[in-house]
Structure formats: structure tokens, C-alpha cells
Amino acid sequence: MKKDEVLNVDKEIIVSWMEAGMIQLPGILLSKYRQIGLDEKELVLLLHIQFFIEGGNGFPTPEQLSERMTISAGECSAMLRKLVQMQLIAIEEGLSEDKIRFEKYSLKPLWIRLAEELSAEKKQQNLENTLHDEHDLYTVFEQEFGRPLSPMECENLAMWLDEDHQDPAIIKAALREAVISGKLNFRYIDRILFNWKKNGIKTIEQARMHGIQFRQKTAKQGPKTISNEPSNTIPFYNWLEQ
């Protein structure tokens, strides 16, 4: 066969591929089909349904589907019933232009289930991250205080997290501010958090800039108490006075 003839054959094959149509397969379906209760045969069946829908046939018969698979029409019919019962596909009614009712498959329940799976995983990951941050928060406080926290102090931490909905990172920043100011106690840290919340401070960067601005302001006003500290030390800011 000549080179030109080979090229023409290749072009015809490519054209036939394009005319046969393509389907877009969501990667999330491949990675999560087991989690939503599907096996490989059911997954392939869903892909064939999607292919038929995109090709203009919204309600392929079990016979049409089984012709493309290694299962019988009866097995295919049973799998379709199972997918409907699992609420992974739905059979909807449509109305043609000439007012004739017809049935069609919908894969919307499948996409909703996948979205719910992703949402549940995200919530679980956020919960795990929160638990890790909270455990780390208690550890940081005990390291700074040089001792285990008392029940009352643990209750204060829990209140900041659960009732005030303070970010663990912001609580750590308030702890650092208390360390810098030489006032390592929960009442002082609570006042810092109250002041930050009143001023709309929600991020570490905002807290950092707020602290810098207050120290600069305090430095310009001069020390409020007599101190023998060297002049290059960080100016003291008494959050309890705010």
C-alpha cells in the first residue's frame, strides 16, 4: 500500500472515531465509584448510558446496552433496576415537540451523590484538621506556661474555640502577644482576643499589624511606667487597659 493510501486510511479511521462521538468522564467518578457502592460492571453500564444520552438516545433498552457489554439483557435489566433503587440514576418523563410523552434516563442523581461524597470528605478533613489544631493549641499553651493547664484554663480555651469561635491560630497569636508583653495569664489573653474581635481582626497578618501599630503608638506616647529595660526592647502595651 502506498504512503498516500495509508494516510487516507488513517484519516478515515480518525473521522470515524470522531463521528462515533466521545464522552467526558469525570475523574471523580473513577476515583470514587467504589465509595458510592458501584462495581466495575455498573460503572461501565453508567458510561454506556451516558454515551447513549449524548448520542441522542435518552432511554436505551437493556438489549442495546448489553450488546456493548459482556452481560446479558436480563443482567443488564437487573443492574438498571438496582441503580434506580440506589438512586444513582433516575427515569424521567419528557415531552416532545409534538406533545408525545417519552421516558429518559437522568444521571443527575449520580452527580449529586458524587458531590455529596466530596462534601462529606471535605467536612471530615476539616474536622480532622480542627481536632489537630486544637490539640496543638493545648500543647503550645502548656509549653509556654511550663506546666499542665488547670481545668479552669482548659475550660477557657474550650470557650474561646466553641463559644467565641476563635481561630486556633488567632489564639496562638494572642498567646505570643501576652508572652511579648510579659503578661502570661488567661485574663490578659482573653482581653487581647476581645480587643481583636472588637476591631474586626480575623487573620494572623491583621493581628501582627495591629500589634505593631499599637506598639508604635505606645512608643511615641512614651512609657507609662518607669523601666530599667534597655531602649531597644519591645515597648510594653497593656491590653488590660483597653
- Residue the block writes with cell 498567646: 175
Same domain, 129 and 102: no
Residue 20: CB atoms within 10 Å: 9
Same domain, 10 and 99: yes
Q: Is the pLDDT of residue 236 over 60?
A: no
For residue range 26-44, what is the model confidence (pLDDT) as tens digits?
788 999 999 999 999 999 9
Beta pairing partners, 92: 104
Report which of residues 207 and 77 the model is more confident about: 77
Same domain, 132 and 75: no
Same domain, 150 and 220: yes
Same domain, 139 and 227: yes
Q: Is the pLDDT of residue 153 over 60?
A: yes
- What's the pTM? 0.55
Report which of residues 179 and 229 the model is more confident about: 179
Domain boundary among 106, 136, 157: 106
Residue 157: CB atoms within 10 Å: 19
Q: How confident is the model at residue 242 (pLDDT cuts 50, 70, 90)?
A: very low
How many structural domains compose the chain? 2
189-213 average pLDDT score: 85
Mean of the per-residue pLDDT values of the chain: 82
CATH code of the domain covering residue 208: 1.10.10.630
For residue range 42-70, what is the model confidence (pLDDT) as tens digits?
999 999 999 999 888 999 999 999 999 99
User: Would you state the pLDDT for residue 21?
Assistant: 57
User: Would you state the pLDDT for residue 26?
Assistant: 79
User: Which of 7-16, 94-103, 165-174, 225-234 has the lowest average pLDDT?
Assistant: 225-234
37-41, 200-204, 223-227, range with greatest mean pLDDT: 37-41
Same domain, 67 and 139: no
Same domain, 8 and 88: yes
In a domain, 38, yes or no: yes
Same domain, 77 and 31: yes
Same domain, 149 and 207: yes
Nearest to 199 by CA among 211, 216, 187, 181: 211
Segments forming the whole domain that contains residue 201: 125-241
C-alpha to C-alpha distance for 129 and 34, rounded to whole angstroms: 25
Same domain, 65 and 154: no
User: Would you state the pLDDT for residue 238?
Assistant: 46
Q: Is the pLDDT of residue 204 over 90?
A: no
User: Would you state the pLDDT for residue 217?
Assistant: 72
Sorted by sequence, the CB contacts under 8 Å of residue 50 that are 6+ apart come out as 23, 107
Q: Residues in the chain, how many? A: 242
In a domain, 116, yes or no: no
In a domain, 97, yes or no: yes
Q: Is the pLDDT of residue 159 over 70?
A: yes
Q: Is the pLDDT of residue 235 over 50?
A: no
DSSP string, 87-119: TSSEEEEEE-TTS-EEEEEE-HHHHHHHHHHHH
